[in-house]
Structure 1
Amino acid sequence: MPHRPDIGTVGRVPNVSELAVSPAGSRDLPCPVRADPVAVHGFLTAACAAERQRLVAEHPSVLGALDGAPPALRYAANDLLMHAAGPPYRDRDGRYLLFDPRGRGRIARVFGDLAAADRITVLVPGAGNRVVNFWNGVGGEGYRSPSAQAAVLYEAACRRAGNPGRLAVIAWLGYDTPNGNDLAVARQERAQAGALALRRFLAGLVVVCPRASIALFGHSYGSTVIGLAASGLPARVSDVAVFGSPGMGVDNAAQLGIDARLWAGQSTRDWIRWVPRSRLFGFGHGTKPADPRFGARVFPTSDVADHDHYLSPGTDSLSSLARIAAGRP
């Protein structure tokens, strides 16, 4: 049986009074915490064009993060938020389904046309990523940038697709990642919170793009987020690919409880191979997915130089991941 989102973790269906209450007390928008993405979509598509434009102008911080809202409305709301945030955000081009610079921040950038896509790849980055380094990369290394990695993946997938106009790639940084150099990276608390946010984001994506199949990619700690979200993934997720993974929170693929094809890659030059598989006292993430005993389909990574170059141009791993993103694994 396909594994569909558990409404208790994605967000229960609200009653009428909840549907029209935002965190600020406005009776204009659904609550982004309680409202189900299906109800959100119905609420907004029922509004006239002028009313939707008013909601964007008056409540961009709510609408920009509202899973189930039509993408065009979220793009417009987040564009306003980025402009209001000032440098270095106001001059960033692109389409954004999420933007919140507070704290470590939340952001999601779209490459391609979601409205036309029938194949969408969501890339979940790992530790150390923040809104402030989303474009420039952790430590100022551009190849570590989720935005740059998603752009490379999108271009490579388009070259392999029969109809590149049908593809979209989303770099989704919708959770608080741990720092790469503290003990939180060996624990699952951040991944558990990220898994709930990811389930909800995907549920909203299915609502606004009902024809599209979804590939879910996770790098490093992002793969742990996906592993903890696995039992509540929408049936539209046809492929899950993880690379440089410290573990997905389980000991084998069967324990994930997914019907999607599972792919894994790990370079012999990736330091992640030294992370122990043990889970003890809240530390550890289980067997690495690229381990033959785990049960994933392993893709080639022999020319990947380290932990951060799985999506680098010219690598076998990018070629494999691009084919999966294009729906041609």
Structure 2
Amino acid sequence: MTVSLSVVEASDPDGLVDAAARTGERIAHLDTLMTRQRQALAELRANWHGQAASAAIAKAEANLDQQEALRARLQALQAALQSGGAQLSSTRRGLLMLVDSLRATGWRIADDGTCTPPPYLPPVFTGLALAWTAVIKRLLSQYDQIDRSTAAAIAAALGGPVPQTPPGTLGDPRRLPTAGTAPEDVKKWWDSLSQAEKDGLIAEHPPELGNLNGIPADVRDKVNQAVMTDDLDRVRDVAARHGVSENDVIADPARYGLTQVDATRFYNARRTSEGLAHQRGNAPKDPRPAMLWGYQPLADNGQGRAAIAIGNPDTAANTAVIVPGTGSSVRDGWLSDGHNDAIHLWDQANISDPDNPTAVIMWMGYDAPDGFTDTRIANPDLARAGGDLLAADVNGLAATHTGPSHVTVIGHSYGSTTVADAFAGSGMRANDAVLIGSPGTDLAESAEDFHLDGGKVYVGAASTDPVSWIGMPGDYPADWLNRQLGYPVGMDAGLGADPAGDEFGSVRFRAEVAGEDGLDVHDHSRYYDMGSESMRAITDIASGNSDRLAQEDLLAEGRRQPHITTPDHFDLPFGGRVPLPHIDTDIPGTPAFIDPEAGRPGSSVTTDHEYKPTG
């Protein structure tokens, strides 16, 4: 049975979050003890041999096994408490704010969520009662479901089978942690290895090692580039032996004793290598410090996944993660082919604030829709699946970072939906979010759903970018616009709320395109143009200087709904007045189609916002 309002009001989900913090302290203490034991065990293996040594090592391993099992239960308990408490707290806060605001305007809300409108509302508004009732009952049901799943997760952590744990130095010290191991545990495992063991693993370069969150970025780069080189040399060596071109080999790999898998690995390795070269630039004496942070050439049905970092995200004061949208993949050349998004951001950020370096990660780590004719583009499934992958990678940055860190995640087009889902649905943690050219935020119905660490949701939406209008509330506006543009996002449009709306809770920055005064699909790809106002704003946010937006007149008003106001009295012709019910509100259900940015004079949109080197 769904919980009631009174039960929600009396609950204290923040107590679960506090309990999670206390559990984390106990885990940290246990980790310290286990790390010392692992280091001692590594020394034993290296320096003591024989029957007595084997017995002592076996006993120590058994003891560590028991501690790993205890830690696994504590970690599962902490995750259940933290996740459940945070979700319950957020749902409770939103529900009670809504109820309080309705009651403050005269609505009566029953314990089961049924809403009764105040008597002064005209009949046209009585239909709102059904809508508000549905919303509140949905939130009550959601609260109940979260409560039940949290209770089940706590019970499983305490009494169910022991959760799978990452290997430490038990058995073979060079055995890799399994996929899904917490980045903090991966980091502890790596730190517990001797330098000889680390060097051995890097020399062997197992592909899984270069994609493990919790492994230092410089190690990931060495391993991934070694794996990429293997993929390139496998085909190039065959081509050289037969006196043919690389393309001849991958066009018919079986003819040369290779497989289609070899051909796919080679093609995506070549694309990735081109991406690294492009990001480094054309100055051999002063290349940009590009690193191969992730590399999975066979992922997503051969489209591949990869992530190139310019700068070291483990040491930079600021890290920006760029997430692309529709039509992007390793295979199709998003890492190269003239894509200068990361180059522009890295160059500008480090010119604007050289004392606080910024690293930029080009994250091609998910399966994006193949193009505007891909029917999956109007469906959030790829964004939600990509959100899980993105959250895992972004959250893993903290495990290897030294010193304070400011993390910004930037999503363009469908990538902005993926970023929103990573925050709202997958628990991604970062300081700021930037959404540009967004067709909608799916699971995130407002900025509050991002749960940012002291930061804000920033939005760039050019008034001439048609895709940025797809997220208007209601099915009709999105479908109409989609039809007028020739179905650029498939037959069905709409991926959630428009983050540029004034009620979303975001901070909108100026992102108009110089010389444009009407809808143009090409303006959807102009947000990273050098010198544009959007590029300047993104730079300031990513470099930790968002306070400059106001100083540089780069803040923009959000898109608005039409507004209705009625008089609060009627003056009688013979004197006196009659009070009337006063209404002053946006028209419910109408799209936020009034865009203050669309009315700016063309002369105010310029391309001179580029940061210039000094000296």
Normalising by structure 2, report the TM-score: 0.47
Count how many residue pairs are aligned between Structure 1 and Structure 2.
308
1:151 alignment partner in structure 2: 343
Aligned to 1:104: 303
User: Does residue 240 in structure 1 map to residue 433 in structure 2?
Assistant: yes
Does structure 2 conserve the Cα–Cα contact (< 8 Å) formed by 1:20 and 1:27?
A: no
Structure 2 residue corresponding to 1:229, chosen from 422, 426, 430: 422
CA-CA distance at 1:283 after TM superposition: 6.3
Aligned-pair distance for 1:204?
1.2
Structure 2 residue 336 is the aligned partner of structure 1 residue 136: yes
Separation in 1, partners of 2:173, 2:162: 16
1:55-74 alignment runs, 5 A limit: 55-74=201-220
After TM superposition, the runs of 4+ consecutive aligned structure 1 residues lying more than 6 A away are: 13-17
Matched, 1:194 2:386: yes
Letter in 1 for 2:355: N
Task: Tell me the percent identity.
Answer: 29
Q: How far 1:59 sits from its partner (Å)?
A: 4.2
Further displaced range: 79-88 or 63-72? 79-88
Which residue of structure 2 aligns with residue 176 of structure 1?
Answer: 367
Alignment of 1:121 with 2:312, yes or no, is no
Q: Distance in 2 between matches of 1:20 and 1:252?
A: 40
SS at match of 2:186: helix
Q: Which amino acid aligns with 2:501?
A: D
Gaps of 5+ in 1: none
Residue in structure 2 matched with residue 36 of structure 1 by the alignment: 182
Q: Using the alignment, how far apart are the partners of 1:15 and 1:65 within structure 2?
A: 26
Unaligned runs of 5+ in 2: 1-13, 22-77, 84-156, 233-265, 278-289, 476-491, 515-521, 547-615
Query: Is 1:205 the counterpart of 2:397 in the alignment?
Result: yes
Whether contact under 8 Å (1:279, 1:285) holds in the other structure is no
- Per the alignment, residue 131 of structure 2 pairs with none
The one-letter amino acid of 1:303's match is V
- Deviation of 1:212 after TM superposition, in Å, equals 1.1
Asked if the contact 2:513/2:523 (under 8 Å) is kept, the reply is no
From 494, 505, 529, give the equivalent of 1:295.
Answer: 505
- 1:18, distance to aligned residue in structure 2 (A): 4.1
Name the structure 1 match of 2:113: none
Q: Which residue identity lines up with residue 441 of structure 2 in the other structure?
A: M
The residue type paired with residue 84 of structure 1 is D
2:470 alignment partner in structure 1: 275
**Structure 2 counterpart SS, 1:226:** helix
Cross-structure match for 2:523: 306
Q: Encode CA deviations 1:213-258: one digit per residue, 9 max, x unaligned.
A: 2111111111111111114122xx2211110011111333234443
2:371 is paired with a residue of what secondary structure?
A: coil
Cα-Cα RMSD: 2.9
Quick check: 1:213–1:238 contact (8 Å CA) kept in 2? yes
Cα deviation code 1:78-100 (max 9, x no counterpart): 10122122162456443011011
Bigger relative contact order, structure 1 or 2 (CA pairs below 8 A, ≥6 apart): 1
Q: Work out whether residues 278 and 285 of structure 1, in 8 Å CA contact, stay in contact via their aligned partners in 2.
A: no
Cα distance change of structure 1 residues 320 and 18 upon mapping to structure 2, 3 Å threshold: same
Q: 1:255 to 1:203 in 2, by over 3 A?
A: closer
- The answer as to whether partners of 1:84 and 1:90 remain within 8 angstroms in 2 is no
SS of the residue 1:131 aligns to: coil
Stretch deviating more after TM superposition (194-203 or 301-310) = 301-310
- Give the residue type in structure 2 aligned to 1:261: K
Question: Bigger shift: 39-48 or 268-277?
Answer: 268-277
For the pair shown, the structure with the greater C-alpha radius of gyration is: 2
Give the structure-1-normalised TM-score. Answer: 0.84
CA distance in 2 between partners of 1:59 and 1:290 (Å): 45
1:27 deviates by: 6.6
Distance (Å, rounded) in 2 between the aligned partners of 1:28 and 1:128? 38
